A and B are shown apart, each in its own frame.
Chain A
Amino acid sequence: VTDAEDLEARVQAAIAGALRRSVPPLSPDDDLVERLGLDSLEGLRLLAAIEKRLAVRFADDRLAELRTLRAIVEAVRAGREGERR
Protein backbone atom coordinates (compact mmCIF):
# COMPACT_ATOMS: atom_id res chain seq x y z
CA VAL A 1 0.00 0.00 0.00
CA THR A 2 1.47 3.32 -1.05
CA ASP A 3 1.23 6.47 1.05
CA ALA A 4 -1.23 7.88 -1.47
CA GLU A 5 -3.47 4.82 -1.26
CA ASP A 6 -3.25 4.81 2.50
CA LEU A 7 -4.24 8.47 2.67
CA GLU A 8 -7.12 7.91 0.28
CA ALA A 9 -8.35 5.01 2.41
CA ARG A 10 -8.14 7.13 5.55
CA VAL A 11 -10.10 9.95 3.92
CA GLN A 12 -12.71 7.42 2.80
CA ALA A 13 -12.94 6.07 6.33
CA ALA A 14 -13.31 9.60 7.68
CA ILE A 15 -16.14 10.22 5.23
CA ALA A 16 -17.96 7.05 6.25
CA GLY A 17 -17.48 7.86 9.93
CA ALA A 18 -18.71 11.41 9.53
CA LEU A 19 -21.85 10.45 7.63
CA ARG A 20 -22.68 7.58 9.99
CA ARG A 21 -24.02 5.52 7.12
CA SER A 22 -22.73 3.17 4.51
CA VAL A 23 -20.88 4.94 1.76
CA PRO A 24 -20.76 3.52 -1.77
CA PRO A 25 -17.33 2.89 -3.33
CA LEU A 26 -15.87 6.22 -4.39
CA SER A 27 -13.68 6.93 -7.39
CA PRO A 28 -11.09 9.68 -6.98
CA ASP A 29 -12.99 12.08 -9.22
CA ASP A 30 -16.54 11.39 -8.09
CA ASP A 31 -18.36 14.54 -7.08
CA LEU A 32 -19.02 13.74 -3.42
CA VAL A 33 -22.00 16.06 -3.18
CA GLU A 34 -23.73 14.28 -6.04
CA ARG A 35 -22.48 10.76 -5.32
CA LEU A 36 -23.39 10.86 -1.64
CA GLY A 37 -26.43 13.11 -2.00
CA LEU A 38 -25.02 15.71 0.39
CA ASP A 39 -26.54 19.10 1.02
CA SER A 40 -24.19 22.03 1.52
CA LEU A 41 -24.25 21.74 5.31
CA GLU A 42 -23.44 18.04 5.26
CA GLY A 43 -20.56 18.91 2.95
CA LEU A 44 -19.15 21.33 5.50
CA ARG A 45 -19.62 18.84 8.33
CA LEU A 46 -17.83 16.25 6.26
CA LEU A 47 -14.85 18.54 5.74
CA ALA A 48 -14.82 19.38 9.45
CA ALA A 49 -14.79 15.68 10.30
CA ILE A 50 -11.90 14.99 7.92
CA GLU A 51 -9.93 17.90 9.37
CA LYS A 52 -10.48 16.60 12.88
CA ARG A 53 -9.75 12.97 12.12
CA LEU A 54 -6.66 13.58 10.01
CA ALA A 55 -5.40 16.51 12.11
CA VAL A 56 -5.22 18.91 9.22
CA ARG A 57 -6.68 22.29 8.35
CA PHE A 58 -7.80 23.06 4.82
CA ALA A 59 -7.21 26.51 3.38
CA ASP A 60 -10.40 28.52 3.85
CA ASP A 61 -10.36 29.88 0.32
CA ARG A 62 -10.28 26.32 -1.09
CA LEU A 63 -13.20 24.85 0.84
CA ALA A 64 -15.59 25.22 -2.06
CA GLU A 65 -13.22 23.24 -4.32
CA LEU A 66 -13.05 20.18 -2.06
CA ARG A 67 -15.73 18.14 -3.76
CA THR A 68 -13.81 15.02 -4.82
CA LEU A 69 -11.74 12.42 -3.04
CA ARG A 70 -8.75 13.44 -5.13
CA ALA A 71 -9.13 17.14 -4.22
CA ILE A 72 -9.47 16.31 -0.54
CA VAL A 73 -6.50 13.93 -0.51
CA GLU A 74 -4.39 16.57 -2.24
CA ALA A 75 -5.55 19.21 0.22
CA VAL A 76 -4.70 16.95 3.17
CA ARG A 77 -1.26 16.34 1.72
CA ALA A 78 -0.76 20.05 1.03
CA GLY A 79 -1.88 20.88 4.56
CA ARG A 80 0.63 18.44 6.06
CA GLU A 81 3.48 19.65 3.90
CA GLY A 82 2.60 23.20 4.86
CA GLU A 83 2.88 22.22 8.52
CA ARG A 84 6.29 20.56 8.00
CA ARG A 85 7.69 23.76 6.54
Chain B
Amino acid sequence: MRIGLIAMSGVRVRSPELARLGVTLPQFVSRGRVVASLPSLGLLTVAGLTPPDVEVVYREIAETGPDDPLERFDLVGLSSFTAQIDEAYALADRYRAAGVPVVLGGIHVSLLPDEAAAHADSVVLDGAEGAWPALVADFRAGRLRPRYQGLRARVFEEPWYARPRFDLLRGRPYNRLTVQTSRGCPLNCEFCAASLRITSSFQQKPVERVVAEIRAALAATDEAFFELADDNTFVNKRWGKELLRAIRPLGIRWFTETDVSVAEDLELLDLLAESGCAQVLIGFESPDGAALDGLDPHNWKKARCDRYLEAIDRIQSRGVTVNGCFILGLDGQGPGVFEQVRDFVARSALLEVQITVQTPFPGTPLFERLRREGRLLRERFWERCTLFDVNYRPRGMTVDELESGLRWLFSEIYSEREFTRRKRHYMELVKGRM
Protein backbone atom coordinates (compact mmCIF):
# COMPACT_ATOMS: atom_id res chain seq x y z
CA MET B 1 0.00 0.00 0.00
CA ARG B 2 1.23 3.49 -0.89
CA ILE B 3 0.02 6.60 0.93
CA GLY B 4 0.72 10.07 -0.44
CA LEU B 5 0.90 12.90 2.09
CA ILE B 6 0.69 16.23 0.31
CA ALA B 7 1.53 19.54 2.00
CA MET B 8 0.02 22.77 0.76
CA SER B 9 2.94 25.19 0.89
CA GLY B 10 3.07 28.91 0.26
CA VAL B 11 1.61 32.01 1.87
CA ARG B 12 0.47 34.87 -0.27
CA VAL B 13 -1.05 38.31 -0.23
CA ARG B 14 -4.25 39.07 -2.12
CA SER B 15 -3.96 42.86 -2.10
CA PRO B 16 -2.10 43.92 -5.27
CA GLU B 17 -0.73 47.04 -3.54
CA LEU B 18 0.79 44.96 -0.76
CA ALA B 19 2.14 42.45 -3.24
CA ARG B 20 3.91 45.30 -5.04
CA LEU B 21 5.31 46.60 -1.74
CA GLY B 22 6.58 43.12 -1.02
CA VAL B 23 8.77 43.29 -4.09
CA THR B 24 10.31 46.63 -3.22
CA LEU B 25 10.76 46.57 0.55
CA PRO B 26 13.36 44.47 2.29
CA GLN B 27 12.06 42.24 5.08
CA PHE B 28 8.39 42.50 4.07
CA VAL B 29 6.64 39.16 4.53
CA SER B 30 10.05 37.64 5.18
CA ARG B 31 8.54 35.64 8.02
CA GLY B 32 5.76 34.53 5.70
CA ARG B 33 8.33 33.25 3.23
CA VAL B 34 10.06 31.31 5.95
CA VAL B 35 6.79 29.74 7.07
CA ALA B 36 5.91 28.91 3.50
CA SER B 37 9.18 27.10 3.00
CA LEU B 38 8.95 24.89 6.09
CA PRO B 39 8.09 21.23 5.72
CA SER B 40 4.71 20.16 7.11
CA LEU B 41 5.49 18.76 10.53
CA GLY B 42 1.88 17.63 10.84
CA LEU B 43 2.17 15.37 7.82
CA LEU B 44 5.59 14.09 8.91
CA THR B 45 3.93 13.16 12.20
CA VAL B 46 1.14 11.41 10.32
CA ALA B 47 3.85 9.50 8.46
CA GLY B 48 5.37 8.54 11.80
CA LEU B 49 2.01 7.22 12.95
CA THR B 50 1.69 5.02 9.86
CA PRO B 51 2.48 1.30 10.26
CA PRO B 52 6.00 0.53 9.02
CA ASP B 53 4.85 -1.90 6.33
CA VAL B 54 3.02 0.89 4.50
CA GLU B 55 4.95 3.01 2.00
CA VAL B 56 4.57 6.72 2.74
CA VAL B 57 5.48 9.43 0.25
CA TYR B 58 5.79 13.10 1.28
CA ARG B 59 5.11 15.74 -1.37
CA GLU B 60 4.82 19.53 -1.49
CA ILE B 61 2.03 20.90 -3.66
CA ALA B 62 4.54 23.36 -5.14
CA GLU B 63 6.35 20.41 -6.72
CA THR B 64 3.53 19.87 -9.20
CA GLY B 65 1.55 22.13 -11.50
CA PRO B 66 -2.26 22.30 -11.33
CA ASP B 67 -2.59 20.43 -14.63
CA ASP B 68 0.13 17.84 -14.06
CA PRO B 69 -1.00 14.21 -14.04
CA LEU B 70 -1.80 12.95 -10.56
CA GLU B 71 0.81 10.78 -8.89
CA ARG B 72 -0.68 7.39 -8.14
CA PHE B 73 -1.41 6.52 -4.53
CA ASP B 74 -3.79 4.13 -2.80
CA LEU B 75 -4.72 6.80 -0.30
CA VAL B 76 -4.01 10.53 -0.11
CA GLY B 77 -3.69 12.67 3.03
CA LEU B 78 -3.91 16.47 2.75
CA SER B 79 -3.45 19.25 5.25
CA SER B 80 -3.53 22.99 4.68
CA PHE B 81 -3.60 26.47 6.18
CA THR B 82 -6.95 28.22 5.88
CA ALA B 83 -5.71 30.52 3.11
CA GLN B 84 -5.02 27.56 0.84
CA ILE B 85 -7.78 25.24 1.92
CA ASP B 86 -9.71 25.72 -1.33
CA GLU B 87 -6.66 24.59 -3.28
CA ALA B 88 -6.46 21.56 -1.02
CA TYR B 89 -10.15 20.85 -1.64
CA ALA B 90 -9.63 21.19 -5.40
CA LEU B 91 -6.76 18.69 -5.29
CA ALA B 92 -8.83 16.37 -3.10
CA ASP B 93 -11.67 16.58 -5.62
CA ARG B 94 -9.28 15.66 -8.45
CA TYR B 95 -7.97 12.63 -6.60
CA ARG B 96 -11.44 11.46 -5.65
CA ALA B 97 -12.61 11.87 -9.25
CA ALA B 98 -9.69 9.62 -10.22
CA GLY B 99 -10.88 7.01 -7.74
CA VAL B 100 -8.27 7.67 -5.02
CA PRO B 101 -9.71 8.07 -1.51
CA VAL B 102 -8.72 11.27 0.28
CA VAL B 103 -8.31 12.06 3.97
CA LEU B 104 -8.26 15.68 5.16
CA GLY B 105 -6.91 16.87 8.49
CA GLY B 106 -5.31 19.81 10.27
CA ILE B 107 -6.58 22.79 12.24
CA HIS B 108 -8.90 24.25 9.58
CA VAL B 109 -10.46 20.87 8.90
CA SER B 110 -10.87 20.23 12.62
CA LEU B 111 -12.70 23.52 13.06
CA LEU B 112 -14.90 23.14 9.95
CA PRO B 113 -15.29 19.37 9.54
CA ASP B 114 -18.61 19.52 7.70
CA GLU B 115 -17.15 21.80 5.04
CA ALA B 116 -14.12 19.54 4.63
CA ALA B 117 -16.20 16.37 4.55
CA ALA B 118 -17.69 17.47 1.23
CA HIS B 119 -14.23 17.02 -0.32
CA ALA B 120 -12.98 13.93 1.49
CA ASP B 121 -13.70 10.29 2.10
CA SER B 122 -12.66 10.82 5.67
CA VAL B 123 -11.69 13.71 7.95
CA VAL B 124 -9.44 13.57 11.00
CA LEU B 125 -10.33 15.94 13.81
CA ASP B 126 -7.76 17.46 16.20
CA GLY B 127 -4.48 15.56 16.64
CA ALA B 128 -3.63 12.74 14.26
CA GLU B 129 -2.49 10.87 17.37
CA GLY B 130 -5.16 8.41 18.38
CA ALA B 131 -6.84 8.53 14.98
CA TRP B 132 -4.45 7.80 12.12
CA PRO B 133 -3.37 4.25 13.03
CA ALA B 134 -7.03 3.21 13.30
CA LEU B 135 -7.82 4.99 10.03
CA VAL B 136 -5.09 3.10 8.18
CA ALA B 137 -6.26 -0.20 9.67
CA ASP B 138 -9.85 0.52 8.65
CA PHE B 139 -8.79 1.53 5.16
CA ARG B 140 -6.88 -1.72 4.71
CA ALA B 141 -9.95 -3.63 5.85
CA GLY B 142 -12.13 -1.74 3.37
CA ARG B 143 -14.21 0.02 6.01
CA LEU B 144 -12.92 3.60 6.08
CA ARG B 145 -15.17 5.72 8.25
CA PRO B 146 -16.08 9.32 7.33
CA ARG B 147 -14.76 10.82 10.53
CA TYR B 148 -12.02 10.01 13.05
CA GLN B 149 -11.61 11.83 16.32
CA GLY B 150 -7.97 12.33 17.26
CA LEU B 151 -6.59 13.22 20.66
CA ARG B 152 -6.89 16.65 22.24
CA ALA B 153 -4.61 15.69 25.15
CA ARG B 154 -1.79 13.27 25.99
CA VAL B 155 -0.54 13.47 22.42
CA PHE B 156 3.11 13.14 23.49
CA GLU B 157 2.51 10.07 25.66
CA GLU B 158 2.74 6.38 24.91
CA PRO B 159 1.13 4.73 23.06
CA TRP B 160 -0.10 7.75 21.13
CA TYR B 161 3.15 9.55 20.39
CA ALA B 162 5.12 8.86 17.22
CA ARG B 163 8.35 10.50 16.10
CA PRO B 164 7.89 12.49 12.87
CA ARG B 165 9.44 10.84 9.81
CA PHE B 166 12.24 13.34 9.16
CA ASP B 167 13.87 10.77 6.91
CA LEU B 168 11.22 11.62 4.29
CA LEU B 169 12.93 15.00 3.88
CA ARG B 170 16.21 13.45 2.78
CA GLY B 171 17.51 15.12 -0.36
CA ARG B 172 15.08 18.04 -0.13
CA PRO B 173 16.37 21.62 -0.06
CA TYR B 174 14.92 22.89 3.22
CA ASN B 175 17.02 25.45 5.04
CA ARG B 176 15.01 25.08 8.24
CA LEU B 177 13.48 22.08 9.95
CA THR B 178 10.70 21.98 12.48
CA VAL B 179 10.41 20.16 15.77
CA GLN B 180 7.49 20.54 18.14
CA THR B 181 8.11 20.72 21.88
CA SER B 182 4.62 21.72 22.99
CA ARG B 183 1.09 22.01 21.72
CA GLY B 184 -1.41 24.67 22.73
CA CYS B 185 -1.00 27.87 24.72
CA PRO B 186 -2.62 28.86 28.01
CA LEU B 187 -2.97 32.52 27.03
CA ASN B 188 -5.89 31.66 24.76
CA CYS B 189 -5.95 34.90 22.77
CA GLU B 190 -9.23 35.50 21.01
CA PHE B 191 -7.74 35.66 17.53
CA CYS B 192 -5.42 32.66 17.77
CA ALA B 193 -5.94 29.97 15.16
CA ALA B 194 -2.99 27.82 16.13
CA SER B 195 -2.70 24.50 17.90
CA LEU B 196 -4.59 25.58 21.02
CA ARG B 197 -7.73 25.10 18.91
CA ILE B 198 -7.06 21.37 18.66
CA THR B 199 -5.95 20.78 22.24
CA SER B 200 -7.86 20.71 25.49
CA SER B 201 -4.88 21.87 27.54
CA PHE B 202 -1.26 22.91 27.16
CA GLN B 203 0.91 19.87 26.38
CA GLN B 204 4.67 19.53 26.71
CA LYS B 205 6.78 16.88 25.07
CA PRO B 206 9.27 15.07 27.30
CA VAL B 207 12.68 16.70 26.81
CA GLU B 208 14.38 13.45 25.84
CA ARG B 209 11.88 13.05 23.00
CA VAL B 210 12.63 16.55 21.72
CA VAL B 211 16.34 15.79 21.73
CA ALA B 212 15.79 12.48 19.97
CA GLU B 213 13.74 14.23 17.28
CA ILE B 214 16.41 16.87 16.71
CA ARG B 215 19.02 14.14 16.40
CA ALA B 216 16.81 12.24 13.95
CA ALA B 217 16.26 15.38 11.88
CA LEU B 218 19.99 16.12 11.82
CA ALA B 219 20.74 12.57 10.75
CA ALA B 220 18.30 12.86 7.87
CA THR B 221 19.20 16.26 6.53
CA ASP B 222 22.37 17.77 8.01
CA GLU B 223 20.40 20.98 8.46
CA ALA B 224 21.34 22.70 11.69
CA PHE B 225 18.69 25.45 11.86
CA PHE B 226 15.49 24.48 13.62
CA GLU B 227 12.13 26.08 14.14
CA LEU B 228 10.30 24.91 17.22
CA ALA B 229 6.77 24.49 15.92
CA ASP B 230 5.25 25.72 19.16
CA ASP B 231 2.76 28.44 19.96
CA ASN B 232 4.45 29.36 23.23
CA THR B 233 7.51 27.33 24.15
CA PHE B 234 8.45 28.77 27.54
CA VAL B 235 5.18 28.74 29.43
CA ASN B 236 6.82 26.51 32.04
CA LYS B 237 10.20 28.04 32.83
CA ARG B 238 11.53 25.05 34.77
CA TRP B 239 10.78 22.67 31.91
CA GLY B 240 12.13 25.29 29.51
CA LYS B 241 15.50 25.38 31.27
CA GLU B 242 15.66 21.60 31.25
CA LEU B 243 15.01 21.69 27.52
CA LEU B 244 17.65 24.35 26.88
CA ARG B 245 20.31 22.50 28.88
CA ALA B 246 19.51 19.37 26.88
CA ILE B 247 19.79 20.99 23.46
CA ARG B 248 22.83 23.14 24.33
CA PRO B 249 25.32 20.37 23.42
CA LEU B 250 23.68 19.69 20.06
CA GLY B 251 25.27 22.74 18.45
CA ILE B 252 22.17 23.80 16.57
CA ARG B 253 20.80 27.26 15.82
CA TRP B 254 17.09 27.64 16.39
CA PHE B 255 14.01 29.86 16.51
CA THR B 256 10.80 29.71 18.46
CA GLU B 257 7.63 31.54 19.43
CA THR B 258 7.07 32.46 23.03
CA ASP B 259 5.70 35.24 25.21
CA VAL B 260 7.31 38.26 26.82
CA SER B 261 7.66 36.57 30.22
CA VAL B 262 10.92 34.95 29.08
CA ALA B 263 12.57 38.29 29.82
CA GLU B 264 11.65 37.97 33.51
CA ASP B 265 13.95 34.98 33.99
CA LEU B 266 17.59 35.93 33.51
CA GLU B 267 18.85 32.35 33.83
CA LEU B 268 16.48 31.32 31.06
CA LEU B 269 17.71 34.17 28.88
CA ASP B 270 21.32 33.12 29.33
CA LEU B 271 20.42 29.54 28.51
CA LEU B 272 18.58 30.70 25.39
CA ALA B 273 21.76 32.30 24.11
CA GLU B 274 24.00 29.41 25.14
CA SER B 275 21.77 26.83 23.48
CA GLY B 276 21.93 28.48 20.07
CA CYS B 277 18.66 30.39 20.04
CA ALA B 278 18.90 32.91 17.21
CA GLN B 279 15.53 34.53 17.56
CA VAL B 280 12.31 34.44 19.55
CA LEU B 281 9.06 35.60 18.03
CA ILE B 282 6.82 37.39 20.52
CA GLY B 283 3.30 38.60 19.91
CA PHE B 284 3.21 42.06 21.47
CA GLU B 285 0.08 42.76 19.39
CA SER B 286 -0.07 46.47 20.28
CA PRO B 287 2.17 49.00 22.01
CA ASP B 288 -0.90 50.51 23.67
CA GLY B 289 -2.22 48.65 26.71
CA ALA B 290 -5.77 49.88 26.22
CA ALA B 291 -5.89 48.15 22.84
CA LEU B 292 -4.96 44.86 24.49
CA ASP B 293 -7.97 44.92 26.80
CA GLY B 294 -9.94 41.70 26.37
CA LEU B 295 -7.51 40.19 23.89
CA ASP B 296 -6.98 37.23 26.19
CA PRO B 297 -9.34 36.15 28.96
CA HIS B 298 -7.05 37.23 31.81
CA ASN B 299 -5.68 40.39 30.19
CA TRP B 300 -2.26 38.76 30.52
CA LYS B 301 -0.74 40.77 27.68
CA LYS B 302 -2.31 44.03 28.79
CA ALA B 303 -0.76 43.58 32.24
CA ARG B 304 2.74 43.30 30.74
CA CYS B 305 2.53 45.95 28.05
CA ASP B 306 4.47 48.57 30.00
CA ARG B 307 7.43 46.18 30.25
CA TYR B 308 7.74 45.47 26.54
CA LEU B 309 10.67 47.80 25.84
CA GLU B 310 12.74 46.58 28.78
CA ALA B 311 11.98 42.97 27.85
CA ILE B 312 13.15 43.45 24.26
CA ASP B 313 16.43 44.99 25.40
CA ARG B 314 17.05 42.22 27.90
CA ILE B 315 16.52 39.51 25.32
CA GLN B 316 18.37 41.16 22.44
CA SER B 317 21.33 42.08 24.62
CA ARG B 318 22.03 38.33 24.90
CA GLY B 319 22.44 38.21 21.14
CA VAL B 320 19.03 36.59 20.76
CA THR B 321 16.96 38.78 18.51
CA VAL B 322 13.26 39.44 18.93
CA ASN B 323 10.83 39.22 16.06
CA GLY B 324 8.11 41.51 17.39
CA CYS B 325 4.59 40.94 16.14
CA PHE B 326 1.89 43.56 16.03
CA ILE B 327 -1.73 43.19 15.02
CA LEU B 328 -3.48 46.11 13.38
CA GLY B 329 -7.22 46.65 13.53
CA LEU B 330 -7.85 45.54 17.12
CA ASP B 331 -11.05 46.96 18.54
CA GLY B 332 -9.18 49.27 20.89
CA GLN B 333 -7.06 50.77 18.12
CA GLY B 334 -7.85 53.97 16.20
CA PRO B 335 -6.08 55.53 13.22
CA GLY B 336 -3.26 56.65 15.52
CA VAL B 337 -2.07 53.07 15.99
CA PHE B 338 0.10 53.13 12.87
CA GLU B 339 2.28 55.96 14.18
CA GLN B 340 2.26 54.33 17.63
CA VAL B 341 3.66 51.10 16.23
CA ARG B 342 6.23 52.92 14.11
CA ASP B 343 7.42 54.91 17.13
CA PHE B 344 7.49 51.85 19.37
CA VAL B 345 9.55 49.91 16.87
CA ALA B 346 11.96 52.84 16.56
CA ARG B 347 12.37 53.05 20.34
CA SER B 348 12.69 49.32 20.83
CA ALA B 349 15.05 48.63 17.93
CA LEU B 350 13.46 45.26 17.40
CA LEU B 351 15.65 43.68 14.79
CA GLU B 352 12.71 42.12 13.01
CA VAL B 353 9.08 43.16 12.99
CA GLN B 354 5.98 41.40 11.77
CA ILE B 355 2.90 43.49 11.14
CA THR B 356 -0.35 41.81 10.31
CA VAL B 357 -4.02 42.64 10.11
CA GLN B 358 -6.30 41.11 12.71
CA THR B 359 -7.70 38.09 10.94
CA PRO B 360 -10.89 36.29 11.98
CA PHE B 361 -9.92 32.71 11.12
CA PRO B 362 -12.99 30.49 10.97
CA GLY B 363 -13.60 28.59 14.17
CA THR B 364 -11.90 31.13 16.44
CA PRO B 365 -13.72 33.11 19.15
CA LEU B 366 -12.85 36.27 17.19
CA PHE B 367 -14.64 34.95 14.11
CA GLU B 368 -17.73 34.06 16.12
CA ARG B 369 -17.82 37.43 17.85
CA LEU B 370 -17.41 39.46 14.65
CA ARG B 371 -20.06 37.35 12.97
CA ARG B 372 -22.46 37.95 15.86
CA GLU B 373 -21.74 41.66 15.62
CA GLY B 374 -22.38 41.64 11.86
CA ARG B 375 -18.87 42.92 11.11
CA LEU B 376 -17.57 40.28 8.71
CA LEU B 377 -17.27 41.68 5.19
CA ARG B 378 -18.01 38.37 3.53
CA GLU B 379 -19.60 35.12 4.56
CA ARG B 380 -16.70 33.03 3.33
CA PHE B 381 -13.25 34.50 2.80
CA TRP B 382 -10.81 31.72 3.52
CA GLU B 383 -8.46 32.56 0.63
CA ARG B 384 -8.15 36.04 2.15
CA CYS B 385 -6.97 34.72 5.54
CA THR B 386 -3.44 35.78 4.64
CA LEU B 387 -2.88 38.05 7.67
CA PHE B 388 -2.53 40.96 5.26
CA ASP B 389 -6.08 41.28 3.89
CA VAL B 390 -8.93 42.99 5.74
CA ASN B 391 -12.00 40.80 6.18
CA TYR B 392 -14.06 42.70 8.75
CA ARG B 393 -15.14 46.18 9.74
CA PRO B 394 -12.75 47.49 12.41
CA ARG B 395 -14.28 49.36 15.34
CA GLY B 396 -11.90 52.30 15.62
CA MET B 397 -11.33 53.09 11.95
CA THR B 398 -12.70 52.37 8.50
CA VAL B 399 -11.61 49.48 6.30
CA ASP B 400 -9.89 52.00 4.01
CA GLU B 401 -8.01 53.55 6.92
CA LEU B 402 -6.82 50.13 8.04
CA GLU B 403 -5.65 49.15 4.57
CA SER B 404 -3.92 52.44 3.80
CA GLY B 405 -2.44 52.62 7.31
CA LEU B 406 -1.01 49.15 6.88
CA ARG B 407 0.65 50.11 3.61
CA TRP B 408 2.05 53.29 5.16
CA LEU B 409 3.44 51.37 8.14
CA PHE B 410 5.06 48.80 5.85
CA SER B 411 6.87 51.49 3.94
CA GLU B 412 8.00 53.12 7.18
CA ILE B 413 9.19 50.02 9.04
CA TYR B 414 10.52 47.86 6.25
CA SER B 415 12.55 50.53 4.50
CA GLU B 416 16.28 49.96 4.05
CA ARG B 417 16.98 53.02 6.20
CA GLU B 418 14.97 51.75 9.16
CA PHE B 419 16.25 48.21 8.88
CA THR B 420 19.84 49.48 8.83
CA ARG B 421 19.12 51.56 11.91
CA ARG B 422 17.75 48.51 13.72
CA LYS B 423 20.78 46.45 12.70
CA ARG B 424 23.07 49.09 14.19
CA HIS B 425 21.13 49.13 17.46
CA TYR B 426 21.39 45.34 17.66
CA MET B 427 25.13 45.46 17.05
CA GLU B 428 25.58 48.00 19.82
CA LEU B 429 23.57 45.80 22.20
CA VAL B 430 25.75 42.83 21.34
CA LYS B 431 28.93 44.88 21.80
CA GLY B 432 27.69 46.05 25.17
CA ARG B 433 27.49 42.42 26.34
CA MET B 434 31.00 41.48 25.08
A and B together in one complex? yes
What are the residues of chain A within 8 A of B279 when measuring CB–CB?
A: 41
**Within 8 Å of chain A (Cβ to Cβ): is B434?**
yes
- Taking the closest CB of chain A, its distance from the CB of B30, in whole angstroms, is 10
What are the residues of chain B within 8 A of A41 when measuring CB–CB?
A: 278-279, 319, 321, 351
Binary A-proximity of B420-434 (CB < 8 A = 1, otherwise 0): 110110111011001
Given the known inter-chain contacts A39-B278, A45-B319, please indicate yes or no for A51 contacting B423, CB distance below 8 A.
Answer: no
- Taking the closest CB of chain A, its distance from the CB of B323, in whole angstroms, is 11
Of B321, B420, B430, B434, the residue contacting A63 (CB under 8 A) is B420
Tier of interface size on chain B:
10 to 19
Tier of interface size on chain A:
10 to 19
B430 touches A45 (CB 8 A): yes
A51 touches B321 (CB 8 A): no
**Within 8 Å of chain A (Cβ to Cβ): is B209?**
no
Of A47, A61, A64, the residue contacting B427 (CB under 8 A) is A47
**Within 8 Å of chain B (Cβ to Cβ): is A49?**
yes
Of A39, A44, A49, A52, the residue contacting B423 (CB under 8 A) is A44
B253 touches A44 (CB 8 A): no
What are the residues of chain A within 8 A of B427 when measuring CB–CB?
A: 44-45, 47-48, 51
Given the known inter-chain contacts A41-B279, A48-B431, A49-B434, please indicate yes or no for A63 contacting B424, CB distance below 8 A.
Answer: yes
- Taking the closest CB of chain A, its distance from the CB of B194, in whole angstroms, is 25
**Within 8 Å of chain A (Cβ to Cβ): is B338?**
no
- Taking the closest CB of chain B, its distance from the CB of A67, in whole angstroms, is 14
A63 to B420 alpha-carbon distance, docked (Å): 8
A52 touches B434 (CB 8 A): yes
B430 touches A48 (CB 8 A): yes
Binary B-proximity of A2-26 (CB < 8 A = 1, otherwise 0): 0000000000000000000000000
A52 touches B431 (CB 8 A): yes
A44 touches B426 (CB 8 A): yes
A13 to B420 alpha-carbon distance, docked (Å): 26
Given the known inter-chain contacts A39-B253, A61-B420, please indicate yes or no for A44 contacting B430, CB distance below 8 A.
Answer: yes
What are the residues of chain A within 8 A of B278 when measuring CB–CB?
A: 39, 41-42
Q: Which residue of B lies closest to A38 (CB)?
A: B253
What are the residues of chain B within 8 A of A49 when measuring CB–CB?
A: 430-431, 434
Within 8 A of B (CB), among A36-82: 39, 41-42, 44-45, 47-49, 51-52, 60-61, 63-64
- Taking the closest CB of chain B, its distance from the CB of A20, in whole angstroms, is 11
What are the residues of chain A within 8 A of B430 when measuring CB–CB?
A: 44-45, 48-49
Using CB atoms and an 8 Å cutoff, list the residues of chain A in contact with chain B.
Answer: 39, 41-42, 44-45, 47-49, 51-52, 60-61, 63-64
- 13 A–B contacts, CB within 8 A, in A order: A39-B225, A39-B253, A41-B278, A41-B279, A42-B253, A44-B430, A45-B427, A45-B430, A48-B427, A48-B428, A51-B427, A52-B434, A63-B420
